[in-house]
Amino acid sequence: MELDLIREDMKKLLKASRYLHSVGVEEVSHDLALIYGYNINHAKTAGILHDCAKYLSDEELLKACEMYHLPVTEIERECAFLLHAKVGAAFAKSKYGVEDEEILSAIAYHTTGRPAMTLLEKIIFTADYIEPYRKPLPRIEDIRKAAYNDLDLAVYMILENVLNYLSNNNSKIDNLTKETYEYYKKILSIQ
């Protein structure tokens, strides 16, 4: 499906603030793809679609996982909002005709990340965090600066922020996020 048509559909489905966020992720994904030599159209497609299932309730997300035969972990069952990523990948394929596995994977892992992410996965994961319409976050300017110079470092810094936030708020933490943090900490040789 053409990007303009996807944008129109996103505008109808998502709250105005979520749509603005999605457009911001698309814009930053474009910029990062340009810098790191990735297919710009693929990056923009993944960017605009990354939250395409964000409008669903927890119950609807769980039902969609059943419908698409998507596995649900214990933490995802408890924190069903995490499922919008994998359901979003399923929607991108079934509703928007996206066949490219890298785009689908970037959508599926944009919330938790995963060890050894592809370039597109890192672009979407990072763009989701640093897009310009997001409310101010700790160290955001440092993370933005890192994103345009060292994507692995930006991913690490985002994961560190997320884990600190979740720990400080006594929130449940997905194991995949912890594993991803440890992976990037190791490859960057951070003590």
Listed in sequence order, the DSSP H helices in the chain are: 3-13, 16-36, 40-49, 58-67, 74-78, 84-94, 101-108, 119-130, 140-147, 151-168, 175-187
Per residue in 44-103, pLDDT (tens digit) is 999 999 999 999 999 999 999 999 999 999 999 999 999 999 999 999 999 999 999 999
Cα–Cα nearest to 114, from 122, 126, 104 = 122
Split at pLDDT 50, 70, 90, the class of 1 is confident
CATH topology of domain 3-187: Hypothetical protein af1432 (1.10.3210)
Helix, strand, or coil here: 38? coil
Q: What is the pLDDT averaged over residues 186-191?
A: 92
Place of tokens 């938790």: 112
Per residue in 132-166, pLDDT (tens digit) is 999 889 999 999 999 999 999 999 999 999 999 99
Per residue in 112-125, pLDDT (tens digit) is 999 999 999 999 99
- Given a contact cutoff of 8 angstroms between Cβ atoms, the answer to whether 188 and 156 are in contact is yes
Neighbours of 135 (CB within 10 A): 6
**Per-residue pLDDT at 135:** 87
**Per-residue pLDDT at 67:** 97
- Given a contact cutoff of 8 angstroms between Cβ atoms, the answer to whether 177 and 156 are in contact is no
- DSSP designation for 80: G
**Per-residue pLDDT at 108:** 98
**Per-residue pLDDT at 191:** 81
- DSSP designation for 81: G
Instruction: Tell me the pTM.
Output: 0.97
